Each structure stands twice: as structure tokens, then as C-alpha cells.
Amino acid sequence: MINIFKTSLRGELIQPGDAGYDAARRIHNGMIDKRPRLIAQCVDVADVITAVNFGRTHGLRIAVRGGGHNGPGLSLCDDGLVVDLSRMKGVRVDPGTHTVRVEPGCRWGDVDHATHAFGLAAVSGIISTTGVSGLTLGGGHGYLSRKYGLTVDNLLSVDMVLGDGRFVTASEDEHPDLFWAIRGGGGNFGIVTSFLFRLHPVDTVYAGPMLWPLEQAGEVLRWYREFLPKAPEDLFGFFAFLTVPPGPPFPESLHGKKVCGIVWCYSGPPDQAEKVFKPVREFSPPVFEYLGRMPYPTLQSMFDGLYPPGLQWYWKGDFIKELSDEAIALHMRHGSELPTPLSTMHLYPIDGAVHRVGSPDTAFSFRDCLWSQVIVGVDPDPANNERMIAWARGYWDALHPYSAGGAYVNFMMEEGDERVRATYQDNYKRLVEVKRKYDPDNIFRINQNIKPEE
Ligand SMILES: Cc1cc2nc3c(=O)[nH]c(=O)nc-3n(C[C@H](O)[C@H](O)[C@H](O)COP(=O)(O)OP(=O)(O)OC[C@H]3O[C@@H](n4cnc5c(N)ncnc54)[C@H](O)[C@@H]3O)c2cc1C
């Protein structure tokens, strides 16, 4: 049976014992060590249909792998079938309509590379190594979100393979209920084999980090919470606690020091940059800045080297409506206790254009929040996992009461049904209805799962 499956694929079928097995079951988070029974490395839609039909007919658990960047390792499963899309890497820019069609194995760097040649950019995240698939299906926020919305707000249509093997297109006009659900509802409804995105005229940006001493973090956060929401939407800046990396461009005097910072991205008219940054410069001189005009893909890949594949990752998120003085005091305490040099806490702005889409209009529901917060423990050495996880949980426990109640699905580990429900608020009921219609047997359940029964 497996032989027939194997020969009907144009891609490869990998099993335990095969030479490439260990490489094929490795994902970005080195903490994940799952052992699938079969890994189908698909190269086209026909392969995906074949794999889904095989998995369903043989009652296998099915996991779907896009970029493999997801924290809890939901792109793999033990003892089941992985539909691995990482070889499906086609990108086609249409400069006439300012759109790009992207296959599901692409990383954002693949898309940036293709679109930048035309002076265009897609709305993605803050790093180029993240997969297009998972980021988009969870919502997607990044450097261009205050100006152009979430990644899903720029999604025009998708092609999908459903659990029963059917192939459908979902857009505002075709299967609009499915199109609504996949814009934030994750991989719950089927496997996306092609994304069509709207692009924007973003070529170079004025961008980079500014750092301040850790002791000044309270002052920086109080200024940031007032300044950014009122700033032009051309300006994006995410706040971070971090340890200064021990190498250029950072001065030696700062190497290894815990600091706070804001990573800026200004995508407006170049001649307005000085004016927009004037209040930033007037606030307080940073101890270091690396700000300048650069191609958008340079900004997107600026931190790739810091976070290579294979590190240990543990993260927890929340959506934030308000940064109160009490919350800032707690951030100061926990943010100054970063357990390892790569651990961090980021506050990503999700205001501006994100707020112009209504919460019921897509599955992504927390449209009235100002920030998406993520507390991340990262380190190369598994020996530090316990300490790192304890820090992330302690930080999250302290701050969660000050949150809006739910978290971005792409910043969650496996945290249980209640957390998934909290993420979707009033949209959860409708997501269950769409799940019942398109995946009634919960074939796609290795994800932040929306169960067909409420
Ligand atoms: C260093 C780093 C930086 C990040 N920065 C950001 C950021 O700035 N903004 C942001 O929004 N997020 C960010 N994220 C989170 C990111 O969105 C998630 O990790 C996301 O899951 C990555 O997508 P992927 O395709 O790589 O994931 P995968 O691990 O491959 O998949 C994630 C989930 O999606 C499902 N899935 C994957 N492909 C498909 C498909 N084609 N069809 C159906 N289901 C599918 C999988 O089954 C799984 O459940 C970051 C993550 C990391 C590690």
C-alpha cells in the first residue's frame, strides 16, 4: 500500500530508517523531537491531494508543514503522516495588478526577494525565515501592519485541498465562509496550496534599532505607549527587552548588556522621515542606534542570523489594549531577568490599518488591541530549558491579568481549548460552523484546534 502511495507522488516519501529521515523531521524549534511514520514531501497540488487521501483512508493523524517555524511543533506529529509543503516554493509577481501568487512552502524571504525586484512588498512579519503559510493563516502582523493591516487583510484568495480530497478556491466570491475562516483560523479547514496577496509600493525604508539602558525601560515604555498610537501609520516600532549581541555593529562596551529597545520601520515619503523621527530624537538619546535607509528585504532579514534554525524555543503571547503603569512595573521586573542572551519580550503594534477592519470581518478577532505581546525563551542549549520556560511562564502569569484575555495563535504553545476559544472571542462559534462544514471529521487537528463539536 505504501509503495503505491510512494510511486504516485512526484515528491518524496520518507520513512523511519531512510537516510533523510532525521533531516526531514527537523523544524525551526530544536526542542521538538517528533517521529512521524511518513513524511510526504509534496511538490505539487496533485501530491497534496494524494497525501490527504492516503492519510484519511488509512486513518492516520495528518500534520501539515509550511515553513516549520511554529513554536509547539504543530507542523509535525508522532506516528502519523506529515504533508510537507516545504518544496513547493513558486512565487509569481504580477507587477501590473500589484499582486503575488505564492506557494505554501515559501518563507517570507523568498517572497521579499521576488517582489523587491518590482519595488513592491507584501505585509508579513519581522524576520525573513518565517513560513508564509502558518504566519498568514494565523493573521500575520509585522513592519507594515500599521499602514496596510494584517497579512490576511492583504490576502485575496487561496487554493485549498480539503480533508475529503476536494480542491477549492476561497475568496470573497467563492466559498466566502471558508475565506473568512482561514483569515486567522489557522490550518483548521484544509491545506492551502496557493496564496494570492495584494502588494504595496514599498522599496526602501528608513529603519533599524535604537537601544536604551535597561534602567530606562519604564520611561521608554511610558513614552512609547503615548507616542506610537498617535504617530503616522507610516511609522512602525516594536518594543523589546534584549541582550546586546557580542559582535558588530554593536559597540564592545554594550556586548552582553541587557537593554531595552525599539526596532523602527518608517515606510513613508523619504523627505518626511526627519520630521517623523523628530519626537523620537527629542525623547531621550539612545545608547546605540543603527538607523538608516535600506532595502525592505534588508530590514526583514536583519535578525535572521541571530535566530538560526535548531535553537530551543518556548513562547507565550497575549493581546494588549492598554499598557498601565502597574503592567510597566511588572515588565521592568521580568524583562530585566532575561534568562539567556537570546530570550526576549516583544510588543508588536497592531493598530492603524488593523483597526479599520471589523473584528467580525475575518476570523482574527482582537482588532481593538494596540499590541500583540510575545515572551520568548530562546537558547542553543537544552540544559537551560527548565530555567527559560520557568521565566517565560512567570513573566506571562504576572502580565496576563493586564491583557485583553486572548493571544495571537501564532504565539501560543499547546495551551488547551480555553486559550484557543479566548483567541477568537465571538468569532469562535462561527469558526465551529465552518469547521463542521469543511472538516467535519477534524482531519486537520494538529494545530490550534477548533473542534467541530462545540
Ligand atoms: C523567529 C520568529 C519570528 C516570528 N515573527 C513573527 C512576526 O513578526 N509576525 C507574525 O505574525 N508571526 C511571527 N512568528 C510566528 C509565526 O507566525 C509562526 O511561527 C507561524 O506558525 C510560522 O508559519 P510556518 O509556515 O513557518 O509554520 P508551520 O510550523 O509550518 O505551520 C504552522 C501551523 O500552520 C499549519 N500550516 C502550515 N502550512 C499550512 C498550509 N499550507 N495549509 C494549512 N495549514 C498549514 C501547520 O499545520 C501548523 O499548525 C515568528 C516566529 C518565529 C520563530
pLDDT in 10s for each residue of the chain, 454 residues: 899 999 999 999 999 999 999 999 999 999 999 999 999 999 999 999 999 999 999 999 999 999 999 999 999 999 999 999 999 999 999 999 999 999 999 999 999 999 999 999 999 999 999 999 999 999 999 999 999 999 999 999 999 999 999 999 999 999 999 999 999 999 999 999 999 999 999 999 999 999 999 999 999 999 999 999 999 999 999 999 999 999 999 999 999 999 999 999 999 999 999 999 999 999 999 999 999 999 999 999 999 999 999 999 999 999 999 999 999 999 999 999 999 999 999 999 999 999 999 999 999 999 999 999 999 999 999 999 999 999 999 999 999 999 999 999 999 999 999 999 999 999 999 999 999 999 999 999 999 999 998 7
Atom of ligand 1 nearest to the CA of 444: 47
Is 140 touching ligand 1 by the criterion CB < 6 Å? yes
Whole-number Å distance between alpha carbons of 245 and 341: 8
Is 212 touching ligand 1 by the criterion CB < 6 Å? no
Output the nine-digit C-alpha cell for 288: 546605540
Compute, in angstroms, the gap from residue 107 CA to the centroid of ligand 1.
10
Compute, in angstroms, the gap from residue 227 CA to the centroid of ligand 1.
30
Please work out, in degrees rounded to the nearest 5, the angle formed at the alpha carbon of residue 282 by the alpha carbons of 281 and 285. 60
Length of the chain: 454
Compute, in angstroms, the gap from residue 320 CA to the centroid of ligand 1.
21
- Taking CA atoms only, the protein residue closest to ligand 1 atom 16 is 135
Q: How far is CA 134 from CA 107, 183, 286, 338, 411, in A?
A: 10, 11, 35, 27, 11
Using the structure block, give the residue that is written with the C-alpha cell 532595502. 295
Contact 142, 112 (CB under 8 A): no
- Taking CA atoms only, the protein residue closest to ligand 1 atom 35 is 187
Contact 369, 349 (CB under 8 A): no
Is 104 touching ligand 1 by the criterion CB < 6 Å? yes
Q: Looking at this protein, which amino acid is placed at residue 1?
A: M
Is 406 touching ligand 1 by the criterion CB < 6 Å? no
Is 66 touching ligand 1 by the criterion CB < 6 Å? yes
- Model pTM score: 0.97
Sign (positive or negative) of CA dihedral 86, 452, 401, 322: positive
- Taking CA atoms only, the protein residue closest to ligand 1 atom 28 is 68
Compute, in angstroms, the gap from residue 409 CA to the centroid of ligand 1.
9
Compute, in angstroms, the gap from residue 331 CA to the centroid of ligand 1.
26
Question: Do the bridges between strand 81-84 and strand 38-41 make them parallel or antiparallel, or are there none, so unpaired?
Answer: parallel
Is 137 touching ligand 1 by the criterion CB < 6 Å? yes
Mutate to test the pocket of ligand 1, among 108, 130, 154, 300 (most ligand atoms within 8 A of CB): 130
Compute, in angstroms, the gap from residue 66 CA to the centroid of ligand 1.
7
Atom of ligand 1 nearest to the CA of 65: 30
- Taking CA atoms only, the protein residue closest to ligand 1 atom 11 is 140
Q: What is the pLDDT of residue 447?
A: 97
Is 141 touching ligand 1 by the criterion CB < 6 Å? yes
B/e letters for 38-74, b = 16+ CB within 10 Å, e = fewer, are: bbbbbbbbbbbbbbbbbbbeeebbbbbbbbbbbbbbb
- Taking CA atoms only, the protein residue closest to ligand 1 atom 53 is 69
Q: What is the pLDDT of residue 231?
A: 97
Is 163 touching ligand 1 by the criterion CB < 6 Å? no
Instruction: Count CB-CB contacts under 10 A for residue 269.
Output: 10
Is 187 touching ligand 1 by the criterion CB < 6 Å? yes
Please choose, from the candidates 34, 32, 29, the residue with its C-alpha nearest in 3D space to the C-alpha of residue 16.
34
- Taking CA atoms only, the protein residue closest to ligand 1 atom 3 is 127
Whole-number Å distance between alpha carbons of 242 and 223: 18
Q: What is the pLDDT of residue 165?
A: 98
Sign (positive or negative) of CA dihedral 153, 156, 160, 162: positive
- Taking CA atoms only, the protein residue closest to ligand 1 atom 32 is 134
Chain center to CA of 377: 16
Atom of ligand 1 nearest to the CA of 132: 25
Is 68 touching ligand 1 by the criterion CB < 6 Å? yes
Is 125 touching ligand 1 by the criterion CB < 6 Å? yes
Is 152 touching ligand 1 by the criterion CB < 6 Å? no
Is 134 touching ligand 1 by the criterion CB < 6 Å? yes
Q: What is the pLDDT of residue 1?
A: 83
Compute, in angstroms, the gap from residue 139 CA to the centroid of ligand 1.
10
